[in-house]
Amino acid sequence: MNLQEMAKRALSGLVAVAMVATTVLAQTDGEPGGLDEAKTKFQTGEFDAASNLLRALLEKDLPANTRRDANLYLGFSELELGHQEAAQAAMREVLRIAPDYRPDPAEFAPRLRAAFDEMRAQLQTGETSDIVSLLEPRGKLSHATKMPSMFARKWYQKWWVYAVVGAVGVGATALLVGGGNSYDPPAAMLDPLTQPCRDPNAPTRYQRGPIQVEAQVTDGEAPYTLRFFDDNVLVDTRNAPGTAPVQFTFPNVESAAGGGCRNHVLKVSVNDARDNEGRLVEASAALTVCQCFLPP
């Protein structure tokens, strides 16, 4: 093969390659379904058709610039259709391919270019902001009111009912235990006032004759009636208006006949206004009565 033939073959190969390349490019741009057709659709306001064409085109393997332009027109088409999120996605692709790209003023209206810039700013802001501010929650209660009857506690579920019952029980117990206004019968004491004999050998002997005693009454209800007895023989009766001590003299308390000593039981019996409510109330003093050598 001479040089001329070789050159012819090389040229044929180049032409073939050029034709193939041209065909490919024609299919992406000028041919039906290509970018040019999509642009035409966009410029005539057929945004929906343009969007469909561009989406089909973007599925193919495209040069970077073609892909950029296809996404740009797709973004504007979606914007015109009001599909904000789709427009944003397409714009994001444009900026990914060419971060500093700006739409050609000769090709796009100021309105669209402004929208692109604004969307670029939003996308960039959204991508770079990591701020998550935490605000405090707030709340407000309505005024306190009476609980609805269907939720209100029944009377037997209220604690104060039982507190009152318990207080009544405690009070009644206190009254019963403490006696309240219950009656106490009188009590009596009897003490000799006359001094015993001075005989050191008989310190508890009393001289025969008058012996004075003092009766003391407590409790019961005045007035009182005091009866004085000598060996169960009534000697005299006295009336006492109150509980003041009552002094009484047995007039003649005898010793034993023949000068010896004799034991006496001097007694006072008390009856109050209630007659002691049937109780026997007495007090006594046992004395030995003698003829002392050394009277008091």
Partner 1 sequence: MWRWGDGAIRVMPVLLIVVAGTGAAIAKSDKESNKDVLPMRVLEALTCRSVQDGAELLEPVKPSDTFSTSEKQVTSFVRFQHVFKPHKIQWRWYDPDGKLYTQSSELAVTLNGKYHEYFTGAHSILIQGEKAAGFPGQWKVVVFLDGVIAGSTNFTLTSKENG
> Which residues of the chain form contacts with partner 1 (CB under 8 A)?
79, 82, 84-85, 88, 115, 118-119, 122, 125-127, 129-148, 151, 153-154, 156-159, 161-163, 165-173, 176
Residue 176 beta carbon to partner 1: minimum distance, rounded to whole angstroms: 6
What kind and span of H or E run contains 86? helix 84-97
Measured between alpha carbons, how far is 112 from 72 in angstroms, rounded to an integer?
11
Instruction: Work out how close the CB of 124 gets to partner 1 at its nearest, in angstroms, rounded to a whole number.
Output: 10
| Torsion 48-52-57-58 (CA) sign | positive
Phi then psi for 164, rounded to 5 degrees? -65, -45
Tokens in use for 139? 């709340």
Write out the two tokens for 272.
């109050």
Nearer of residues 14 and 167 to partner 1, judged by Cβ: 167
- Nearest residue (CB) to partner 1, 118 versus 236: 118
Q: In terms of Cα–Cα distance, which of 144, 156, 143, 285 is closest to 213?
A: 285
- Structure letter (DSSP) for residue 286: E
Nearer to partner 1 by C-beta: 64 or 141?
Answer: 141
| 117 Cβ contact partners less than 8 Å away, ≥ 6 residues apart | 102
Question: Minimum Å distance from CB 165 to partner 1?
Answer: 4
CB of 71 to partner 1, least distance (A): 17
If the CB atoms of residues 63 and 179 are measured against partner 1, the closer one turns out to be 179
Nearer to partner 1, 140 or 244 (CB): 140
* Least Cβ distance, residue 92 to partner 1 (angstroms): 11
